[in-house]
Amino acid sequence: MSMKILLDKVGVAGIETLPVYRAHGGYSAVEKVLKMAPADVVEEVKKSGLRGRGGAGFPTGMKWSFIDKKSGRPRYLVVNADESEPGTFKDRYLMEKMPHLLIEGIVASSYALEANLSFIYVRGEFRWIIAILEKAIAEAKEAGLVGKNIMGSGYNLEIVVQTGAGAYICGEETALIESLEGKRGNPRLKPPFPAVSGLYGNPTVVNNVESIAAVPWIVNNSGESYAKIGTPKSAGTKLISACGNINYPGVYEIELGLPVEEFIFSPSYCGGIKDGKRLKAVVAGGSSVPILPAGLILKTANGEPRLMSYESLSDGGFLTGTMLGSGGFIVYDEDQCIVRNTWNFTRFYHHESCGQCSPCREGTGWMERILHNIEYGHGKLSDIDLLWDVQRKIEGNTICPLGDAAAWPVAAAIRHFRDEFEWHVREPKECLVRNYGLPEATVATV
Ligand SMILES: Cc1cc2nc3c(=O)[nH]c(=O)nc-3n(C[C@H](O)[C@H](O)[C@H](O)COP(=O)(O)O)c2cc1C
Ligand code: SF4
């Protein structure tokens, strides 16, 4: 289970430069697609079973096939490189180490979509990545791999790098489109979906960096070959950014279907829990997905080994399962406080809510305040039920999924760690001393 198709050449000296990238077979997918009909490229990606790596796991080929080509309006590919989800840092790594893989993927994908203008929307804080991407685009343009008449084929493509301004919500595809248009990044109501009416009202595909970076391999080796990697419902490899109380934090490319236990404990991946402590819980797919206690992340409720795949991680629904999400894998040891962690996540969602819908705007603030009270020793037992009630009223009642993303971690924390919330209420001093190392005398003043 150590197949690598995205990061296999990381470590090759100079792979971020065009000559070295080309010497290692780079841009062969562009050469190949230019001789194919665009519809055949879409078909190949459909056959691959590739699912979007931005979080929702929507099939990429199917998304591409929704794009309206009949209207004659311009079509756009927008690569989502906003990557602001806490715990997720794999796109940053991919762009830093393999910029030409992304550019190659963009050219091949844009050709399939018959788009002549594509964008990379990059998180504003990634200053150095923006420079890397712009250098790679300039090199590719100079070599006739981007721009007018690519490789003499008559196909034209310009790639524009656009910087975000630090708002997490601009990673949501319709907020991203608004931001690209120069407006405030407020999510749009869907439908219409971007494939019908996206950037400037034109058909637009928004895809994650990793999804687009997988396209060259699929073109070179066939969709069928890609579909053979991983599991039937989770084809291919996935980048996982692993962090928290583990021995080897970092970005790993895994073949989907790897047992979670192996990922956490094998020296080839996370290398086990730091300082010989016990595993307490895992957030498997970025801060938005439900947290699971050790027992349920290692095994499903049926006692099957839990696998790193869309279907296995979600086995049991939210009662006993979670989601693969964006691949931001956060590991907590026995000393970590679930209340504090949930409060921290909720602070983030409250801060990042765009404020358009009341359940999200008000609810995230309510949750933050209740959690603050519990965490700082001013909570009541009834606050736990109130918290549950507030998150229920957010989920499913908002314009965009940020509302759900704020509600799910709170629901899961209460579902699996209610005793810890109660303990905070009953023994606030113990929690404060444990979490903040505060001597008892100062506790009352916090
Ligand atoms: C609040 C919020 C933030 C998001 N941030 C990102 C992001 O940083 N990168 C990303 O690829 N997708 C993000 N998404 C998902 C995008 O809306 C979209 O589904 C994704 O870019 C589609 O690409 P894919 O099909 O290749 O996964 C976010 C969604 C929400 C609701
Ligand atoms: S759910 Fe939150 S972030 Fe999304 S549109 Fe509504 S208020 Fe804005």
pLDDT digits over 62-102, tens only? Answer: 999 999 878 889 999 999 999 999 999 999 999 999 999 99
pLDDT digits over 341-375, tens only? Answer: 999 999 999 999 999 999 999 999 999 999 999 99
Task: State in Å: Cα 33 to ligand 2 middle.
Answer: 39
Give the predicted TM-score (pTM) of the model.
Answer: 0.95
Atom of ligand 1 nearest to the CA of 83: 8
As beta bridge partners, residue 346 has none
Atom of ligand 1 nearest to the CA of 173: 17
Pocket test for ligand 1, best of 173, 239, 326, 394 (most atoms within 8 A of CB): 173
Task: State in Å: Cα 238 to ligand 2 middle.
Answer: 28
Ligand nearest to the CA of 56: 1
Ligand nearest to the CA of 167: 1
pLDDT digits over 255-275, tens only? Answer: 999 999 999 999 999 999 999
Distance from C-alpha of 387 to C-alpha of 363, rounded to nearest angstrom: 9
Contacts of 127 (CB under 8 A, 6+ apart): none
Pocket test for ligand 2, best of 168, 169, 354, 362 (most atoms within 8 A of CB): 354
Distance from C-alpha of 343 to C-alpha of 419, rounded to nearest angstrom: 16
Ligand 2 neighbours (beta carbon < 6 A): 169, 187, 353-357, 360-361, 398-400, 402-403
Ligand 1 neighbours (beta carbon < 6 A): 52-56, 58, 60, 63, 80, 82-85, 168-169, 171-173, 206-208, 211, 400-402, 405
What average pLDDT does the segment 401-408 reach? 97
Whether the Cβ atoms of residue 411 and residue 396 lie closer than 8 Å to each other = no
pLDDT of residue 441: 46
Whether the Cβ atoms of residue 236 and residue 310 lie closer than 8 Å to each other = no
Distance from C-alpha of 30 to C-alpha of 157, rounded to nearest angstrom: 12
pLDDT digits over 283-308, tens only? Answer: 999 999 999 999 999 999 999 999 99
Ligand nearest to the CA of 89: 1
Residue 52 has pLDDT above 80, yes or no: yes
Ligand nearest to the CA of 394: 2
pLDDT of residue 41: 98
pLDDT band at 438 (very low <50, low <70, confident <90, very high): low
The closest residue, in CA terms, to atom 6 on ligand 2 is 357
What average pLDDT does the segment 423-441 reach? 74
Summary mean pLDDT of the chain: 95
As beta bridge partners, residue 204 has 76
Whether the Cβ atoms of residue 291 and residue 323 lie closer than 8 Å to each other = no
Q: How many CB atoms lie within 10 A of CB 124?
A: 15
Task: State in Å: Cα 229 to ligand 1 middle.
Answer: 24
The CA–CA distances, whole Å, from 250 to 88, 126, 297 equal: 10, 18, 20
Task: State in Å: Cα 171 to ligand 1 middle.
Answer: 5
